Amino acid sequence: MTLSVTINAHQLGRLIDKTINHMGSEYVEPLHGIRLDVDSKYLYSVASDRYTIAVARYELNHGDQGQEPWARTIPADHLRSIREWIQSMKGAGLITISTAKDRLVFEGPQTDLSIAVTTGLEFPDWRGILRKQLEQATEGETFPALNSGFLARFNHGDIIRARMIGDQKPLLVFAEDFLGAQMPTRYAGIYPCKEESFDVAHKSWLWTLAAGSKDADMDGAAYEEERPLYDVTADIRETGEVLLQQTLRSGWDMHGKSKEKPDEFLAHCLAAVNGWMAFRYLDALYNVDPRAAASVVAEVADELDSGEIGEFAWDAAKSAGFDPDKWHGEYEAHKQERAKKQAAETDTAA
């Protein structure tokens, strides 16, 4: 059964633009894209990266209202081509979006576009998540209007805390050795925010969110990233997490292997020690200069991804005035001596 909705090019572009920055990682397939969700009244564009969630909606024409609900996720890899296709037509041009067996078909005034989609992907219960949050936010009267362009100026890579005192009071922003404030936008109940009170805004979404679960939550554990084993993150916080996990896991793996498998014990011991050293050095660098720490993490991620760390280490040793050729000779001699010792022990045991 084919289901479809009609929307003009300008509005479809706005739906995508409002949510595209909230898409999840390429390693979380259900979230790596934009979800088109249709009920009997609206077409929604939804995206989430487990930490943020964004929903934009467009009220359907009367001819499309009352239809059977449906939803499909547009894979992130197709969004650029879709956006370029939309920009190639006039804003008022009508686009019909319809479902096929495993595709989404976009029919425009002059050209059509068809993309493959995975119909079985489970997307979070975004209605339930936001329903719960809005119901919990009904206490209090504070509902200031903030210019999102000004908010973006506080994005300097740090974790921030915020406190809003009142509708006509500034938003206070705190970060490490940083303090800022943003005044609310005064408006007369018109563009850019027509909802003059939280109660009005809440009511305008009640119909949409009523279909969501009362107990839904933004639980990131339900959508864990499945990174390849060789993949290295360039995010400084994730890097610290990986180093701490390595330290603890190697420490746990050391137990019970000192006698049975001494080589494995030593490997786990070295991994734990190196993981802890790397974390402490990274933490110290971050406390001194967060930007330098982030830059180093990104550079190291590129180096590890190249698979040439042996060459990098060799060059770094020579640049520092060491002799890696001597180290290599000493290591080979150590391996030969160790092999002779193991052979002698085997002969003695026989």
* Residue 13 predicted with pLDDT over 70: yes
Mean pLDDT for all residues in the chain: 85
Distance CA 151, CA 36 (A): 27
Percent of the chain clearing pLDDT 90 (strictly above): 35
DSSP label of 10: H
Tell me the domain boundaries of the chain. Answer: 4-116, 142-196, 236-349
Question: Does the global pTM surpass 0.75?
Answer: no
Q: What pLDDT does 59 receive?
A: 92
Which amino acid makes up residue 304?
L
Q: What is the pLDDT of residue 119?
A: 84
- pLDDT of 32 > 70? The answer is yes
Mean pLDDT of 214-239: 72
Specify the range with the lowest mean pLDDT, choosing from 19-23, 109-113, 207-211, 335-339.
Answer: 335-339
Once rounded to an integer, what is the mean pLDDT over residues 121-139?
Answer: 86
Tokens of 315: 């060059």
State the pLDDT at residue 222.
Answer: 65
Integer Cα distance of 224 and 286 in angstroms: 26
Whether 190 shows a pLDDT value over 70: the answer reads no
Pull the structure tokens for residue 5: 């909705």
Q: What is the pLDDT of residues 240-272, one digit of tens each?
A: 888 998 899 888 887 765 556 777 788 888 898
- The residue to which tokens 């305008």 are assigned: 204
Locate 328 and state its tokens. 């290599």
Closest to 101 measured CA to CA, from 114, 112, 110: 114
Would you say residue 181 has pLDDT above 50? yes
Residue in 159, 163, 130, 127 with CA at minimum distance from that of residue 144: 163
Indicate the pLDDT class of residue 144, thresholds 50, 70 and 90: confident
Q: What percent of the chain stands above pLDDT 70?
A: 89
Q: What SS3 class is residue 179?
A: strand
143, 198 Cβ separation under 8 angstroms: yes
Q: What is the residue whose two structure tokens read 């206070």?
A: 172
Over residues 120-136, the mean pLDDT reads: 88
3-state secondary structure of 128: helix
Question: Could you give the residue ranges of the DSSP H alpha helices within the chain?
Answer: 9-19, 76-87, 126-136, 148-151, 198-209, 236-254, 262-288, 290-306, 309-319, 324-349
User: Which range is least confidently modeled, 32-36, 92-96, 155-159, 308-312?
Assistant: 155-159
- How far apart are alpha carbons 299 and 289 in whole angstroms? 16
Question: What is the rounded CA–CA span in Å between residue 85 and residue 108?
Answer: 9
User: Phi and psi for 48 in degrees, rounded to 5?
Assistant: -150, 140
Q: Give the model confidence (pLDDT) of 264-286 as tens digits.
A: 788 888 898 999 999 999 999 98
Q: What is the pLDDT of residue 260?
A: 63
What is the total residue count of the chain?
Answer: 350
Q: What is the mean pLDDT of residues 170-175?
A: 90
4-116: CATH topology: DNA Polymerase III; Chain A, domain 2 (3.10.150)
- Residue position matching structure tokens 């330098």: 292
Q: Which of 263, 228, 282, 287 is nearest to 339 (CA)?
A: 263
Count of beta carbons in the 10 Å neighbourhood of residue 86: 23
